[in-house]
């Protein structure tokens, strides 16, 4: 991890555009009792005033490994933008306001990565929006599916296939998180080689237990490999979303960047980190990386996700009651 001022200073790098802060101890103690609802209300409050009404449609019901967004299937829109920075391609999530992961969004992310590799990218940056990197899966869509098991399997499969694509990516990937990264957003970040996050009040974590869900073994392995077994246990059991400074201390993120002067500083630092890595002898770097990340790829194999079992739990009366109760509370 970076040390000293490097954690908090923006680093400006070259790049061309193509179309296609530490909380005090008492605050950290209070964070342990925060609920999903507390977090989501703060996330809305952090957005520009003009965006808050539409954001409430997406965020006010957010929960679990997932986050809500008004489902817009069939609408023509760019869900993932591609930007070139020399040999590095930035994939920027572009499903306003919180980049909720609908099946179409997950497919677009996976295809965007495939296209970047096919185009010869030597490194990839996965970026989100300001204030919110990615708030997780599209819960209204999932809840609207009711007991349609085939449709639920399709939706969750799309998400895990996107995660596997980043885990197995043949070139290095950096998560550039200029805002919150709860739940599914955290999972995508864990699949990257390196995680750069904006400093300040932004939060990251896996909060499934707060809505009656159990993170699959494979997802738990992702967290354990970066923060260690004991800390992963504490975070998973409590479902706590931790602030950026705590995440840096735990090793969940690798660097914090001050975005108060330059909002694009997180992405710029991600590109700079990749540029430095790409100066190493290419074959030695890539082969060493493949060996070091074999456990990450293996963690996301279907036998460690047990999707049928996860769907059973999703459809259980207790989990559904917890999800709908949370939706009702956040809708008030």
Q: How confident is the model at residue 140 (pLDDT cuts 50, 70, 90)?
A: confident
> What pLDDT is recorded for position 38?
57
Instruction: Please report which confidence band the pLDDT of residue 275 belongs to, taking 50, 70 and 90 as the band edges.
Output: very high
Structure tokens at 193: 């080689």
Place of tokens 């430095």: 276
For the chain, what percentages of helix, strand and coil (3-state, to nearest 5) are there?
50, 15, 35
- What is the reported pLDDT for 55? 46
pLDDT at 212: 84
Q: How confident is the model at residue 323 (pLDDT cuts 50, 70, 90)?
A: confident
Q: What is the mean pLDDT of the chain?
A: 82
- Work out the average pLDDT over 270-295: 98
Lowest mean pLDDT among 36-50, 114-128, 133-147, 229-243: 36-50
Q: Given pLDDT bands bounded at 50, 70 and 90, which one contains residue 16?
A: very low
Confidence of residue 322 (pLDDT cuts 50, 70, 90): confident
Give all strands (DSSP E) within the chain, no chain letters: 66-67, 80-85, 88-93, 123-127, 131-132, 137-138, 173-177, 179-182, 194-198, 203-205, 242-243, 255-257
Nearest-angstrom CA–CA distance, 272 and 251? 20
- pLDDT for residue 245: 98
Summarize pLDDT for 6-15 with one digit per residue, the tens. Answer: 333 333 333 3
Place domain 4-331 in its CATH homologous superfamily: 2-enoyl-CoA Hydratase; Chain A, domain 1 (3.90.226.10)
pLDDT tier at 26 (50, 70, 90 boundaries)? Answer: very low
Asked if pLDDT for residue 29 goes beyond 60, the answer is no
Predicted pLDDT at 273: 98
CA separation for the pair 258, 109 (Å, rounded) = 27
Of the pLDDT bands very low, low, confident and very high (cuts 50, 70, 90), residue 138 is confident
What confidence tier does 139 reach under pLDDT thresholds 50, 70, 90? confident
| Phi, psi (deg, nearest 5) at residue 79 | -85, -30
């Amino acid at each position: 991890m970076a040390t000293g001022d490097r954690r908090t200073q923006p680093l400006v790098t070259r790049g061309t555009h193509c179309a296609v802060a530490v909380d005090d101890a008492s605050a950290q103690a209070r964070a342990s009792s925060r609920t999903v609802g507390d977090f989501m209300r703060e996330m809305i409050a952090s957005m520009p005033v003009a965006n808050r009404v539409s954001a409430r449609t997406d965020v006010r019901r957010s929960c679990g490994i997932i986050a809500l967004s008004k489902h817009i299937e069939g609408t023509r829109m760019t869900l993932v933008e591609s930007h070139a920075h020399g040999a590095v391609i930035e994939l920027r999530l572009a499903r306003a306001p919180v980049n909720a992961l609908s099946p179409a969004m997950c497919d677009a992310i996976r295809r965007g990565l495939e296209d970047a590799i096919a185009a010869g990218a030597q490194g990839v940056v996965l970026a989100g929006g300001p204030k919110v990197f990615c708030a997780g899966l599209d819960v209204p869509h999932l809840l609207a599916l009711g007991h349609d098991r085939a449709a639920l399997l399709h939706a969750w499969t799309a998400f895990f296939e996107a995660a596997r694509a980043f885990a197995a990516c043949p070139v290095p990937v950096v998560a550039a998180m200029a805002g919150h990264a709860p739940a599914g957003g955290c999972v995508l970040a864990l699949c990257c080689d390196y995680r750069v996050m904006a400093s300040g009040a932004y939060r990251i974590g896996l909060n499934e237990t707060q809505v009656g869900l159990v993170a699959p073994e494979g997802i738990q392995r992702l967290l354990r490999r970066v923060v260690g077994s004991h800390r992963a246990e504490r975070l998973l059991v409590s479902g706590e979303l931790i602030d950026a400074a705590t995440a840096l201390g735990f090793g969940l993120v690798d660097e914090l960047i001050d975005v108060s002067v330059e909002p694009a500083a997180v992405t710029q630092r991600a590109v700079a980190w990749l540029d430095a890595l790409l100066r190493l002898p290419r074959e030695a770097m890539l082969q060493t990386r493949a060996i070091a990340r074999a456990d990450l790829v293996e963690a996301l194999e279907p036998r460690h996700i047990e999707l049928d079992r996860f769907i059973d739990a999703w459809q259980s009366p207790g989990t559904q009651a917890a999800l709908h109760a949370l939706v009702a509370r956040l809708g008030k």
